[in-house]
Amino acid sequence: MTMNLVVLGPPGVGKGTYAKYLAKKYNIPTISVGDLFRNAIKNQTPLGKKIKGIVSSGELVPDELVNELVKNRLDEDDCKNGFILDGYPRTVPQAEAMPSFKNLDLALNFVAPNDVIMERISGRRTCNKCGATYHIKNIKPKVERVCDGCSGDLIQRADEKPDVIKNRLEVYYEKTKPVTDYLQKKILVADINANYNIDEVEKILSQCYAAIDKLN
């Protein structure tokens, strides 16, 4: 069974974390548009040079650039049996464009209060070598500011600072939340209560499994 999923919700709600659990369970890849952007920027590709300043400010990358990036990734062989999209579509025009290259079966819409989201993002730290993520309260490294795996430095990304987070949330409610409303008219959209601690992830995943079971 081919299963094309998308995870929705504001930045910092935990979409990427839950998507990885689901990808492992259902043996399909997670396509993080944020990771695609960061790789393009790191490798200084033509697209990466165009979007570097946009991503750092928390603004949205123009739809035509995102559509091209996602289409190319979904055309790769590992997506033939399905995928989980994280970070796309983020605007209604992107949602309108997507059926021209892939159809979606289900959207999992993760929700949590803004204050919870602010705390989650602002406390996140990322290894500058291997990309592993930690949190100053919930997932602490053994040595402060040092990655457990590769001993790289743990840094706060530019798009995870409080003023940028606030802007990202404003952009989400203005431009991205309408995507949920649009998709509800096209496919099954399941609201997932994500207001749980990291050690209660099964309470979140069980809601996802129930929604996916409805596809059978």
58: in domain: yes
The 10 Å Cβ neighbour count of residue 213 is 8
pLDDT digits (tens, 9 = 90+) for 139-195: 999 999 999 999 999 999 988 888 888 888 998 888 888 999 999 999 999 999 999
CATH number of 44's domain: 3.40.50.300
3-class DSSP state for residue 111?
A: strand
Decide if 125 is catalytic.
no
Phi-psi region of 82 (alpha: psi -120 to 50; beta: other; left: phi over 0): left
pLDDT(60) > 80: no
- Kindly state whether residue 137 falls inside one of the protein's structural domains: no
Question: Would residue 124 show up in a list of annotated catalytic residues for this protein?
Answer: yes
* Span 193-207, average pLDDT: 92
Which one is catalytic: 15, 38, 120, 125?
A: 15
Count of domains forming the chain: 1
Residue 157 appears among annotated catalytic residues: yes
Which domain, by its residues, includes 84? 3-113+163-213
The single-letter code of the amino acid at 167 is N
Give domain status of residue 31, yes or no. Answer: yes
pTM of the complete model beyond 0.95 = no
